[in-house]
Amino acid sequence: MYFYSMKKSSLYKGCLEPILLRLLKDHGRMYGYQMTQMVKDITKGELNITEGALYPLLHKLEEQGIVETETEMNGNRMRKYYSLTKAGKKQTNIAMDEMKAFMQSLEYIVNPKIALG
Amino acid sequence: MYFYSMKKSSLYKGCLEPILLRLLKDHGRMYGYQMTQMVKDITKGELNITEGALYPLLHKLEEQGIVETETEMNGNRMRKYYSLTKAGKKQTNIAMDEMKAFMQSLEYIVNPKIALG
DNA sequence: AAATAATACATAATTTTCTTATGTATATAT
DNA sequence: ATATATACATAAGAAAATTATGTATTATTT
């Protein structure tokens, strides 16, 4: 008998972008690695953002003008700080509305008795 | 100026399987089209499962022995009913635990003040 | 009566969005 | 010294959708 990972591929597929936008909205300027650590902390280790997902997404958001960057040196080590642009803040509000609707929908499905009519 | 759809690609990417498992757990035997309608109803039109996502996933779940099927005729029209196998019920419990953890994680991020410590 | 929408399945091509693997480099802890 | 943590980046591959297309029956609208 083979043992294989029972770990489901991530449920948060599709939610990473709004998660990052929310972080930036709440905490202002942040650098990539910091985001991964903060999400891990906030979710008590549940959500672990991989670098392969994080950095390309941040680059895409920058291209789209949703975020802007400033690179700083911390000792000899680089940190690339991201913050929301004006357009990014607008987009974040939209994304948050969508997230709330989505979470409510999940509630309706997973807790049909508890969910509010 | 071009107008384009602002509609974000679906957030539930990755959640469809647990959603279907939950439906089958709650409602027993269901056919595919019925699942799409029930999800649309329950979520007040928010979640619209596309057929291109639904049917291949149902087929995969059948291959994996998570669900079993019975085909019935409703008049001249076919309905393929799906229900959870014993293994499927086990798997559903695991998936529901994962879903709750995931939803709690989203709460921590989207509502940091409200979320329970 | 004819056209459209709804019901009900299915699959292929494509796109989106991850995971996994790999690479570079500095700082800290064992 | 070695391993772990910090900090970025990118490429190959996999997973999981969207979009488009197809077949066919039934109900509704015009």
Could you tell me which chain B residue has the CA closest to the CA of A15? B11
Indicate the pLDDT class of residue A113, thresholds 50, 70 and 90.
confident
pTM of the complete model beyond 0.85: yes
Mean pLDDT of the region B27-51: 97
Q: Say what percent of chain B tops pLDDT 70.
A: 89
Interface test with A, best of B109, B111, B113 (most A CBs within 10 A): B109
pLDDT at A3 over 70: no
**Is the minimum distance from the CB of A13 to strand D below 7 Å?**
yes
Residues A16-48: tens digit of each pLDDT: 999 999 999 999 999 999 999 999 999 999 999
**Model confidence band, residue B113 (pLDDT cutoffs 50, 70, 90):** confident
Name the helix (H) or strand (E) containing A61: helix A51-63
- What is Dmax (Cα atoms) for chain B? 56
**Mean pLDDT for the stretch of residues A71-98:** 96
The band of B7, judged by pLDDT with boundaries at 50, 70 and 90, is low
Share of chain B above pLDDT 90, in %: 85
Residue-level pLDDT at A112 = 87
Three-state DSSP class for residue A10: coil
